Amino acid sequence: MSYSIKRITQVADCDVLLTWAAREKADLDFELLSEDRLTDKFETTSVEVEAILQGVLAELSALRVAVVRLPEGGKAKADMGVKIKKLEYKQFLLENRKQTYGLLALLQKELDIQRIENEIKEVDTFVAELTAHKATL
């Protein structure tokens, strides 16, 4: 982007803008660090959640097959029904967690990181142009 830096006629104005840009860059650097850490967490969590979810789904499938073969009214069938309900709830929680920390969330975080990196590059360009102009005043 082309900035209207040539319209600045005083060194003091350049200094004010350079101070502002340094603050902006510091904020962006901090935001980038935070997003990087979250992305690392999301990468780990997404793999863990998927593995646990697959185990729960396999166990649910096996229990659903087994519960059908048990006699009606028996304690074993009732206990297995409770276990199935608990696993269904665990599945629900894991699927919610997958949406929050899974692959889709990871991709969103990666996009956020790219956006922040682009903003940092733009601030660096602004500072370079402003510093060069300040030297001519």
* Number of compact structural domains in the chain: 1
Question: What's the CA gap between 66 and 74, in Å, rounded?
Answer: 13
In a domain? residue 103: yes
- Give me the residue label for tokens 């297995």: 80
Q: Is residue 81 part of a domain?
A: no
Do 50 and 88 contact (CB within 8 A), yes or no? no
Could you tell me the residue range of the domain that residue 105 belongs to?
9-51+88-128
Flag whether 28 is in a domain: yes
pTM value is: 0.68
Asked, for residue 39, whether it belongs to a domain, the answer is: yes
Distances in Å between the Cα of 8 and the Cα atoms of 1, 57, 111, 125, 136 are 17, 65, 35, 17, 11
pLDDT in tens, 57-114: 999 999 999 998 988 888 888 999 999 999 999 999 999 888 887 778 888 889 999 9
Q: Is 113 within a domain?
A: yes
pLDDT number for residue 55: 97
Instruction: Tell whether 76 is covered by a domain.
Output: no
**Dihedral of alpha carbons 38, 43, 44, 50, sign:** positive
Tens digits of residue pLDDT in 39-62: 888 888 888 888 999 999 999 999
Tell whether 74 is covered by a domain.
no
Domain assignment of residue 122, yes or no? yes
